[in-house]
Structure 1
Amino acid sequence: MNSNSAERRSVRTTAGWGFLCLTVVLAACTPPGDPRRHTTPPANPAAPTTSTSTGGPPCTPSVDTLAAPPAGYRLVGEDVAVPDAPVMSAEDSGETEPAARLFAKWGLIVRAGTVVDLRVAAGWQDRARLGWGGTGTRAAAVTVHACTPEGGQAQWMAFVGGTWVAQAACVPLIVTSNGQNDSVDLGIGVPCDKAATS
């Protein structure tokens, strides 16, 4: 690989990180009711190309490829990273479904080449919804297929989406990957240390 190719790759990586950071900052700073604010994550036509040759479910559309989970994220098991913030801002979603009244936008980070299942814990099916990949589809249980990108350079994939809730709460999620179940509590509109999960 010549030095020009390495420099171009470095610029693309830096630009990708910049775009991801800018997206997070803008989403956090855009006030509710602003017409520029998306209540449902939009599809990204510029999402990285992914391979479908691995079989299994279709590839979930991603917005970025990463060498490692970014700062401010924590691992759940070996293949998923979620925000480490004690509370994620939840705004009126504009949705009519009672379980989707509020929406907290956050990016899901999944190890490239893996398929993970995420679901709300038992008893939460009528109070919370999940969704990633820019399709706007939300459900109590979702599958994210982080296909290995062409070239196989990236170790992690980033997906736009988040969590919908009936009301601000500490939402318990179950993450399943490679036959292993891991649980994580997410503060949606309220910190988990100030809210019951049941």
Structure 2
Amino acid sequence: MSAHAGATRTPRAPGLPEPGVGSRTRPVAWWGFLSLVVVLSACTPTGDSRQHTTPPPDNAAPSTGASGGGPPCTPSVDALAAPPTGYRLVGKDVAVPDARVLSAQDSGEADPAARLFAKWGLVVRAGTVVDLRVAPGWQDKARLGWGGTGTPAATVTVHACAPEGGQAQWMAFVGGTWVAQAACVPLIVTSNGQDDPVDLGIGVPCDKTTTP
């Protein structure tokens, strides 16, 4: 028997999932994205990226974990040197998919505002805390959630605690966007006191005919 028999290898942290259909690029990095989708499919029900927990007050999804100060750390799935190919910056501290359309499927949620779900990875600069919320007028049409522990909410806070060693500059989180129907969803990202808007095509591309 080989001296290596029975040995186990610690798997490398998976990359982000492919950010939906319609992406303009297909780099080798997509293999990492696809690997994460397979892992998620094995661990969670279809269209569900978090455990069911008691809804937090004021319709806000909490993070979990521990940190030296501020809000708890949000559970991440990868540490990155930079946002991956196929992502765009929103402000200075957040990156979102650059795809024209993020594919959406039935979520199985009872909440009418969360009927469809588009799974995608959020990338946040390490060591920062960001708030993401649906734009005014969309509280009954869309929900958000990342980190695998919260209930879909109109407003979420993501605390990207820096990893040990401080080598990685960005942290990746699994989650996505829920919507009442396919639409171009306007979000607001807040970091360091600055608000930055971003539109995401959930099930349909963003144009003047797809926003309810």
TM-score using structure 2 length? 0.74
Overall identity of the aligned pairs, in %? 72
Contact kept, 8 Å, 2:74 with 2:158, in 1: the verdict is yes
Residues 39 and 51 of structure 1: CA distance in aligned 2, closer, same or farther (over 3 Å): same
Q: Which residue of 2 aligns with 1:25?
A: 34
Which one of 156, 178, 189 corresponds to residue 164 of structure 1?
178
Offset of residue 137 of structure 1? 1.7
**TM alignment of 1:175-186, pairs within 5 A:** 175-186=189-200
Contact kept, 8 Å, 2:134 with 2:155, in 1: the verdict is yes
Offset of residue 42 of structure 1? 4.4
Contact kept, 8 Å, 1:51 with 1:148, in 2: the verdict is no
Q: How many equivalent pairs are there?
A: 177
SS of the aligned residue for 2:207 comes to: helix
Contact kept, 8 Å, 2:66 with 2:72, in 1: the verdict is no
**TM alignment of 1:184-195, pairs within 5 A:** 184-193=198-207, 195=209
TM-score using structure 1 length? 0.79
In the alignment, the residues of structure 1 paired with residue 127 and residue 44 of structure 2 have an alpha-carbon distance, to the nearest angstrom, of 33
In the alignment, the residues of structure 2 paired with residue 23 and residue 40 of structure 1 have an alpha-carbon distance, to the nearest angstrom, of 20
Q: Which residue of 1 aligns with 2:56?
A: none
Q: Which residue of 2 aligns with 1:52?
A: 67
Q: Which residue of 1 aligns with 2:49?
A: 41
Residues 129 and 26 of structure 1: CA distance in aligned 2, closer, same or farther (over 3 Å): same
The answer to which structure has the higher helix fraction is: 1
SS of the aligned residue for 1:74 comes to: strand
Instruction: Give a deviation string over 1:126-161, Cα, whole Å, max 9, x none.
Output: 000000001142100000000111111110000000
Residues 90 and 27 of structure 1: CA distance in aligned 2, closer, same or farther (over 3 Å): farther
Offset of residue 16 of structure 1? 3.5
Offset of residue 52 of structure 1? 1.0
SS of the aligned residue for 1:160 comes to: strand
Offset of residue 24 of structure 1? 3.4
RMSD of Structure 2 on Structure 1 (CA) = 2.9
Residue identity matched to 1:39: G
Residue identity matched to 1:24: F
Q: Bigger CA drift: 180-189 or 20-29?
A: 20-29
Q: Where does structure 1 lack aligned partners over 5 or more consecutive residues?
A: 1-11, 44-49
